[in-house]
Amino acid sequence: MSGAGEPAQARIDGAAFLREGDLPRLMAILNDAGEEVRVVGGAVRNALLGLDVADVDLATTALPQVVVDRATAAGFNPVPTGIKHGTITVVVEGKPFEVTTLRADIETDGRHAVVRFGRDFAEDALRRDFTINALFATADGRVFDYTGGIADLAARHVRFIGDAGRRIREDYLRILRFFRFHAVYGEGEPDRAGFDAAVRERHGLARLSRERVSAELMKLLVARRAAPAAAAMSEAGLLGPLLGGIAMPARLGRVADIEAARGKAPDAILRLAALALTTVEDADRLREALRLSNEAWRRLAEMAGALAKLHGRTGLPSAAELTELLFLNGRRTAKDALTLAHAESAAAVEDAEWSAARHHLNETPQPRLPISGADILARGIPSGARVGEVLKALQARWIRAGFPREPATLADLLDEVVGAVGRRAT
């Protein structure tokens, strides 16, 4: 247990998560018979900032088996999710709490650690990543700060604990976490010591799995200051190798501003496209570099295809062009491409004309060609590739004609196309 006389430097007054629900019950069974438990990390940080507290992690002097025994006796469900490193996930009424025995990392290779369990909260704090994540709170709301995290929170300063290079070498993912936490909680420029260490240790990023990199990058992209963080990473040469290509932080910033102006929540895939997508080949590259799901890759590829139709123009697409985009690509993809085109333009994020274009895509029914393969077969076209040829040619003429639905006009268009195909066949 931490030494006597260490002052609680702050309090979490009135925090509902400490007083209500299942957490007090769990802390009560662990705060007994010479053992102590405290809330640690993000929950304490967010509570001090007045932000919502979602997941709650606990640090305890009790060894993992003691945690298991006490949780079982109380009727909770302990799951040994990381018992090698001292972590037991205790499920109480369906809600999981990670409970980890105090420890020190005695050997690391940049991805994995060998740990020694302990009973000193201060020692446990010193092996964590950032000062703002090394805050502990007791059940009655007293906050213990061993690394200066409270002052850094007030300054909106994200800083490694101790030597930044050493912290990074313990887990190279901390390079990305440094920029993500700065994007979420920081203001101004990134901490210089942390930034310089990230650049020096950047070779270690190649040791990380692409899945871990992808998960961390996606979290960064939806952060409050994602664009400035991405710009700092790009200028330092950290982002391009992760993406396998050129990064465009300015376009990311424009998309973030457009989302904010519309009152929309951050869209990670759209923001990834803003940062790194120009062509369909870029979608393939990102899929490989970040191990994207098939769904995410398909959305990016469709977005790139639709965006290609909007490049090279001097102004907004016309209503007819927007309807064509809607017909060929579907509503979501058309809106994605329009947002990226807006971001590439010089127009204000709340520009009325771009807003009207988006409204058009939102409200216009998606056109559907009212002629089927059966209609073509009925005109004497033999089944097979010729039917597809007629449909493709008919679709192009239907678009040029403005998506008519009158039966006579449709019949004339079909006659023209069938006649043209028939002439080519003879």
Average pLDDT, the chain: 91
Cβ within 8 Å of residue 94, ≥6 positions away: none
How long is the chain?
426
Residue 85 pLDDT class (50, 70, 90 cuts): confident
Burial 355-373 (b: 16+ CB within 10 A, else e): bebbebbeeeeebeeebee
pTM: 0.87
Q: pLDDT over 90 for what percent of the chain?
A: 73
Residue 112 pLDDT class (50, 70, 90 cuts): low
15-19, 28-32, 319-323: lowest mean pLDDT where? 15-19
Cβ within 8 Å of residue 69, ≥6 positions away: none
Q: What pLDDT is recorded for position 84?
A: 82
Helix (H) or strand (E) holding 11: strand 8-11
Rounded CA-CA distance 26/399 in Å is 64
Rounded CA-CA distance 153/123 in Å is 21
Rounded CA-CA distance 201/167 in Å is 10
Mean pLDDT of 408-412: 88
Residue 426 pLDDT class (50, 70, 90 cuts): very low
Q: What pLDDT is recorded for position 313?
A: 66
- In three-state secondary structure terms, 39 is strand
Q: What pLDDT is recorded for position 111?
A: 54
> Domains in the chain, please, with CATH?
8-155 (3.30.460.10), 164-363 (1.10.3090.10), 373-425 (no CATH)
